[in-house]
Amino acid sequence: MYQTMTPGPTNVRENVRMARSLPTTNPDLDEGFFDFYRETCRKLSRLMHTENQAYILGGEGILGLETACATLTEPGDRVLVIENGVFGRGFADFVRMYGGDVVEFSSALERPVPVAELKAFLESDSDFKYATVVHCDTPSGVLNDIQSICTLLAEYGILTVVDSVAGMFGEYVNVNKSHIDVLLGGSQKALSAPPGLTMMWVSNHAMTVMENRKTPVASFYANLLNFKDYYEHKEFPYTMSISDIYGLNVAIDNVLADKDILDRHARIAHATRVAVTAAGLSLFLESGHSNTVTVVVVPEGIKDEEIIETMKADHNILIAGSFDVMAGKVIRLGHMGENARVDAMTGLLAALGETLKKLGFPVACPMDQAFLKDLL
Ligand SMILES: *Cc1c(COP(=O)(O)O)cnc(C)c1O
């Protein structure tokens, strides 16, 4: 098996893997499981600085994105899709799928969404039921200022939907301060549980809007209303992925116990950027680097696949290329959650240096040493 250094899925700690192997009960019939599920969700709310109710849904991160759009959108609703990346743009597909009328606010991939320009745009048009925005758009690694963006949208009475699947637990998220109505996360990024679960945090306001729909939600699996009052009714819409949730609960405890987690991401991300540029490589972004991933331009004359395949064959390390409009242009080094560790990153950077040398790139300095030096 490769050492996985991609921007998710991430490495999973042994205590999470062990929790997933525990004996299971019937999650539909055992009242104890409802308490366990609710307690796990309450910890999630605490971690995101909110009393908004959290939900854990049985499906990978994308299910959360679709569920937010499916449950909020009624045919003809105007929805503002704020985008400067692949996942940002992808929201438009979900909105249209459920009959929404998409208006896009698009900006350059190389930097964060410009908040002043967004404000100017809203001055001329703010008649939207909700808006979507991505915190860390992983294919390019850009980090958007969700606090400023969502606070601004809230001033115009627009509900906010934020995909922080690749941001949360590696970057600070404060739901209350940022006025986020629907926050979306996934198990397999900085939380460092295996893929399989979506987490959603939903404000009372958003829940009321969902409940007051005039038309039924055109989905069962992606209908959040099916989770409403699950605890009071002792009823989930479908059998919960109990082993995955056992694992998630321990991954949450790991994060709660790790007081250094955000600073660690910041230190490692900074040192990685320093090392990569010192070696003569270029970062894709001009500004707005997320602390969860470093996105490096593929040097002239080399193919992304050559780098990725050599890293696998010679060093047994798995890194990522990118996709959609970013395909072929960059390689991505994931340092989120359990991957944001000095040992793992030192090994990764040493291997990347050797790989690039082998492929003919004049590596200007040993990247692992530049990385360690920056951490001092
Ligand atoms: C990973 C990720 C998701 C979930 O989708 P995947 O199928 O795991 O790619 C959603 N949004 C963002 C920004 C992500 O990085």
Residue position matching structure tokens 């998630």: 248
CATH architecture of 13-257: 3-Layer(aba) Sandwich (3.40)
Angstrom CA distances, 246 to 19, 43, 60, 169, 234, stand at 6, 13, 16, 19, 19
CA–centroid distance, 165 to ligand 1, in Å, is 6
Mutate to test the pocket of ligand 1, among 165, 189, 322 (most ligand atoms within 8 A of CB): 165
CA–centroid distance, 62 to ligand 1, in Å, is 6
Mutate to test the pocket of ligand 1, among 138, 183, 291, 295 (most ligand atoms within 8 A of CB): 138
Residue position matching structure tokens 């950027």: 273
Q: Determine whether the annotation assigns residue 332 to a binding site.
A: yes
* pLDDT level of residue 69 (50, 70, 90 thresholds): very high
Would you say the CB of residue 62 lies under 6 angstroms from ligand 1?
A: yes
CA–centroid distance, 120 to ligand 1, in Å, is 30
Cβ distance 351 to 314 under 8 Å?
yes
pLDDT tens for residues 205-244? 999 999 999 999 999 999 999 999 999 999 999 999 999 9
**Cα angle 233-239-244, degrees, rounded to a multiple of 5:** 115
Q: Give the residues across from 55 on adjacent strands.
A: 200
Mean pLDDT of the chain: 98
The whole-angstrom separation of Cα 333 and Cα 336 is 9
Q: Give the pLDDT confidence score for residue 131 in this predicted structure.
A: 99
Taking residue 233's Cβ as centre, other Cβ atoms within 10 Å add up to 9
pLDDT tens for residues 174-217? 999 999 999 999 999 999 999 999 999 999 999 999 999 999 99
Q: What would the mean pLDDT of 135-149 be, rounded to a whole number? A: 98
CA–centroid distance, 315 to ligand 1, in Å, is 26
Range list for CATH 3.90.1150.10 in the chain:
261-375
Range list for CATH 3.40.640.10 in the chain:
13-257
CATH architecture of 261-375: Alpha-Beta Complex (3.90)
The whole-angstrom separation of Cα 292 and Cα 169 is 9
* pLDDT level of residue 281 (50, 70, 90 thresholds): very high
The percent of residues in the chain predicted with pLDDT above 90, rounded, is: 100
Question: In sequence order, what are the residues at sequence separation of 6 or more whose Cβ sits closer than 8 angstroms to the Cβ of residue 320?
Answer: 6, 7, 308, 331, 332, 334
pLDDT tens for residues 14-55? 999 999 999 999 999 999 999 999 999 999 999 999 999 999
Q: Give the pLDDT confidence score for residue 215 in this predicted structure.
A: 98
Which regions of the chain does DSSP assign to beta strands (E)? 3-4, 53-57, 78-83, 101-106, 130-134, 136-137, 142-143, 159-163, 182-186, 198-202, 293-297, 317-318, 330-334
Q: Give the pLDDT confidence score for residue 355 in this predicted structure.
A: 98
**Running DSSP on this structure, what letter comes out for residue 85?**
S
Cis peptide before 7 (omega within 30 of 0): no
pLDDT tens for residues 290-342? 999 999 999 999 999 999 999 999 999 999 999 999 999 999 999 999 999 99
The whole-angstrom separation of Cα 162 and Cα 154 is 13
pLDDT tens for residues 151-175? 999 999 999 999 999 999 999 999 9
Q: Give the pLDDT confidence score for residue 367 in this predicted structure.
A: 98
Would you say the CB of residue 292 lies under 6 angstroms from ligand 1?
A: no
* pLDDT level of residue 273 (50, 70, 90 thresholds): very high
Report the predicted TM-score, pTM, of the whole model to 2 decimal places: 0.98
Residue nearest to atom 13 of ligand 1 (CA): 137
Q: Give the pLDDT confidence score for residue 272 in this predicted structure.
A: 98
